[in-house]
Amino acid sequence: TLSGKVAAVTGSTSGIGLAIAEALAAAGADVALNGFGDAAAIEAMRAKIAADHGVRCIHLGSDMSTGAGAAGFVEQVAAQLGSVDILVNNVGIQHVAPVDEFPPEKWDALIAIVLSSTFHTTRVAVPAMKAKGWGRIINIASAHGLVASPFKSAYVAAKHGVVGFTKSVALELAETGVTCNAICPGYVRTPLVEGQVVDQAKVHNMSEADVIRNVILAVQPTKRFVETGEVGAFAAFLASDAARSITGAALTMDGGWTAR
Ligand code: NAD
């Protein structure tokens, strides 16, 4: 059980981050949500997590594209909930373009949100974890942290960076009771991806099932999406005491993608 622990999850008003926040709350942790969206919808998510699981749940709209926003998120969670014991660096964006046409401002934004925010939250969270002798840092990388696809140079670079950062931090903290790991999902069914299925089915004049199988999941041998709840359950396991010897790992949940 994670009762008495506080989890801070970046980018958690949607998709994988929200599922991780729910899984950690279900295990008993107090949870801080982060991310953008409709204020009433976010308040409904926050209230539901608190009510469903009997935990404290707050939301902070900190902008992870700046170092001050990322650092401030961890500081404010610690101020409001007492500590940050479990840090989940989940926030992410994507931009797809050939490298010679890749807009430099998109490159900078993607590296800031995916890679640098992970550094800034971690550097602020680590001292208190070390002092307590317990902590969990869980970075949501991607199969693209281990292998590449064309036209995703910034994302692939940032996610490989997250995997490297994970290993270095794990080694630094190895004797402190703080673990640091990366989860590397393949394609996960999030609202974003579901929209792509509908759009591609129209463009290709294919059934949605064929688009999933032959277009989107061409790289994923299981030919089905990872579900957000699966990533949530994995994160909850990594946060548990049973996972204390797992550190510095880039753990795949990719339906066999990187086994090829
Ligand atoms: P999503 O778009 O559903 O959610 C992203 C979240 O981040 C939202 O809550 C959004 O409000 C928030 N966000 C965006 N920019 C922000 C900013 N500047 N500051 C604060 N919050 C911000 O995404 P998702 O599909 O759930 O992806 C979550 C993570 O998982 C990302 O790191 C992504 O790269 C990774 N991932 C996703 C997949 C997939 O197939 N969906 C696969 C592998 C890895």
Give the tens place of pLDDT for each residue, 83-103: 999 999 999 999 999 999 999
**Are 27 and 92 contained in the same domain?**
yes
**Are 160 and 205 contained in the same domain?**
no
Q: Does the residue 158 lie in any domain?
A: yes
What tokens appear for 9 in the block? 């999850």
**Are 40 and 21 contained in the same domain?**
yes
What tokens appear for 61 in the block? 């709209």
> Which has the closest alpha carbon to 90: 203, 7, 202?
7
**Are 172 and 215 contained in the same domain?**
no
Please state the domain count of the chain.
Answer: 2
**Are 216 and 119 contained in the same domain?**
no
Please name the residue whose Cα sits nearest to atom 5 of ligand 1: 11
Q: Cα of 234 to ligand 1 centre, how many Å?
A: 17
**Are 115 and 198 contained in the same domain?**
no
| 81 alpha-carbon distance from chain centroid | 21
Domain interval for residue 202: 189-224
Q: Does the residue 139 lie in any domain?
A: yes
**Model confidence at 9: pLDDT above 90:** yes
Please name the residue whose Cα sits nearest to atom 33 of ligand 1: 92
Condensed to tens digits (0 to 9), the pLDDT of residues 67-85 reads 999 999 999 999 999 999 9
Mean pLDDT across the stretch 231-236? 98
Q: Does the residue 109 lie in any domain?
A: yes
**Are 160 and 210 contained in the same domain?**
no
Under the banding of pLDDT at 50, 70 and 90, the label for residue 226 is very high
Q: Does ipTM come in above 0.95?
A: yes
**Are 160 and 40 contained in the same domain?**
yes
Q: Is 187 a catalytic residue?
A: no
**Are 211 and 231 contained in the same domain?**
no
What tokens appear for 222 in the block? 């299981």
Q: Does the residue 1 lie in any domain?
A: no
Q: How many other C-beta atoms can be found within 10 angstroms of the C-beta atom of residue 11?
A: 25
Q: According to the model, what pLDDT value does residue 215 have?
A: 87
Q: Does the residue 70 lie in any domain?
A: yes
Condensed to tens digits (0 to 9), the pLDDT of residues 43-68 reads 999 999 999 999 999 999 999 999 99
Closest ligand 1 atom to Cα of 12: 9
Q: Does the residue 119 lie in any domain?
A: yes
Q: What is the pTM of this model?
A: 0.97
Q: According to the model, what pLDDT value does residue 195 have?
A: 86
Condensed to tens digits (0 to 9), the pLDDT of residues 159-197 reads 999 999 999 999 999 999 999 999 999 999 998 788 888
